[in-house]
Structure 1
Amino acid sequence: MSTANQVHHSPYEQHRGPNPGALAIVYTTLFIASLIIFGVLSHGAAFPRPNGSLTDAQQVFLRFPDAIKFNALFQFGAAIPLGLFTATVTSRLSFLGVNASGVSIAMFGGITASVFITISSLCGWIMAQPGIADEVHILHAVQLLSFASGGIAHIVALGLLMAGISVPCLLGRYTPKWVAWSGLVLAGIAELSTLSLVIPAAGYLLPLARFGSYIWLISTGFTLTKHRQLHTAL
């Protein structure tokens, strides 16, 4: 038999798909860009908070509709790489032989987080449309929905994504231990942020979990092993 017809198999099978680290960078970049572009187009105005002054919020939406629209556009765009990251990482864990419920929990959390940030961005787009900001009570209702979906609901779902991935990664050593442990800590903070629904002071947990998750997503994406035979299945 000629060597040209021989089939050589690598001893280590490798998962194929998008690079989750690159997807995490795109997601992080788009979300942070949404905040920066709002600040630039609004000349440094603070983004309206749902528990702040309704009059002040109305003035921001009336004066800077383009800033709101571009903020919504970039956040809408961020939802796509987050969903792709979720699909890629859960697929890789399944490929590695992880048959635990964490994979399904991570898939549910990541897709849900992507959907909620989509809802929040579309609410932002609605608030920037002509006439919406003129009706302060309608504006406030949509603003509350935008905050609840893009803030609390998105972060809690993101916590499920982090926990669902971190547990099997810790047990199977598919990522460095510090990456897995940081994911579990951030997941706990994310779930505790649910208290912000009734305790306003707990709202400070939201940005802690959000911006901490960016580091975790990128770290997990670049350190999660691709090779099935390097580890035993869970």
Structure 2
Amino acid sequence: MNDSTGDRIRTDRPTGRQGGPPLAPVAAVSLTLLLAGLAVGVALGGVMPLPYGPAAEVVRYIHDNHSAVQASAVGTFAASVPLAIYAATVSTRLRQLGVTAPGATIALAGGILAAGALALSGLICWTMSRAEVVVDDGLIRALYYLVFLTGGVGHIVALGLLLAGIAVPGLVLGLLPRPVAWIGLVIAALAELATLVLIWPESSVILPIARFTGLIWLIVVGVLLPARRAARIRS
């Protein structure tokens, strides 16, 4: 009888699983840092020109607005850290919720790639803020394109994988409300369409839409995704 009681007590104790940091605040911090860097950069130097616009505008902006470029770089790099934390935490959460399909791994891979691309973009952008570096117009153009490609297309396409890796099991297993899961899939598909920017630069309007709706969706998921499945009633 004592053994049976001891087994029951051990069964009723927590399993020791740790849920990690709360998802919604982590995603909110990433979005806030990104917006803060962008806002400070715009306040200091105006809106950054598009990389495929007139070369003279790009070169002039970089030469005249070192502080604005640096502010954008710091915000971008800083935003990559909570995004990586989110990816690691949500992939663990999905596995704890019983996701055995590749969704959890896809979410982790997509999130790490998205965070890495964002971090790289921020570091390259910071490099452009150094007066001793941007002494050659051709180098400025090359670095500017790299910032756009890593922080734009590369980041957004990888972010779409993170969204899809969460939305698919969230829909199939009922972990998320169906409308929320479907919205995530639509945003993920839009993010993957950002690849078209490499062929048709004018389609870059996709980038800010997919970026900010995707980050907002991650905040919503952080609120709605359960920490554990409801306990089953034993007979």
**Fold similarity call, TM over 0.5:** yes
Contact 2:103 2:166 in 1 (8 A): yes
Match of 1:144 in 2: 145
Q: Give 1:1-234 correspondences, 5 Å limit.
A: 7=9, 9=12, 15-42=18-45, 45-230=46-231
| Whole-angstrom CA distance in 2 between matches of 1:152 and 1:111 | 15
**CA drift at 1:153:** 0.6
Q: What are the Cα deviations for residues 180-227 of structure 1, in whole angstroms up to 9, with x where unaligned?
A: 111100010011110110112221111111111122010011110012
Q: Secondary structure at the match of 1:228?
A: coil
Q: 1:78 to 1:47 in 2, by over 3 A?
A: same
In the alignment, structure 2 segments of 5+ residues that lack a partner are: none
Amino acid at match of 2:115: S
Q: Secondary structure at the match of 1:150?
A: helix
Q: What are the Cα deviations for residues 124-155 of structure 1, in whole angstroms up to 9, with x where unaligned?
A: 01111113333110000011111000000100
- Structure 1 runs of 4+ aligned residues shifted over 2 Å read 5-16, 131-134, 228-231
| Whole-angstrom CA distance in 2 between matches of 1:211 and 1:90 | 21
Contact 1:15 1:95 in 2 (8 A): no
Q: 1:179 to 1:75 in 2, by over 3 A?
A: same
Q: Secondary structure at the match of 2:154?
A: helix
Amino acid at match of 2:30: Y
| Whole-angstrom CA distance in 1 between matches of 2:169 and 2:87 | 15
Contact 2:34 2:76 in 1 (8 A): yes
Q: Secondary structure at the match of 2:101?
A: coil
- C-alpha RMSD over aligned residues: 2.1
122-131 vs 85-94, which moves further = 122-131
| Whole-angstrom CA distance in 2 between matches of 1:165 and 1:220 | 9
| Whole-angstrom CA distance in 1 between matches of 2:47 and 2:231 | 49
Contact 1:13 1:228 in 2 (8 A): no
Amino acid at match of 1:25: A
| Whole-angstrom CA distance in 2 between matches of 1:230 and 1:178 | 25
83-92 vs 193-202, which moves further = 193-202
In the alignment, structure 1 segments of 5+ residues that lack a partner are: none
**CA drift at 1:35:** 0.8
Amino acid at match of 1:38: G
Contact 2:19 2:89 in 1 (8 A): no
| Identity rate, percent | 38
Contact 1:167 1:180 in 2 (8 A): yes
Contact 1:20 1:85 in 2 (8 A): yes
Q: Looking at both structures, which has the greater relative contact order when contacts are Cα pairs under 8 Å and sequence separation is at least 6?
A: 1
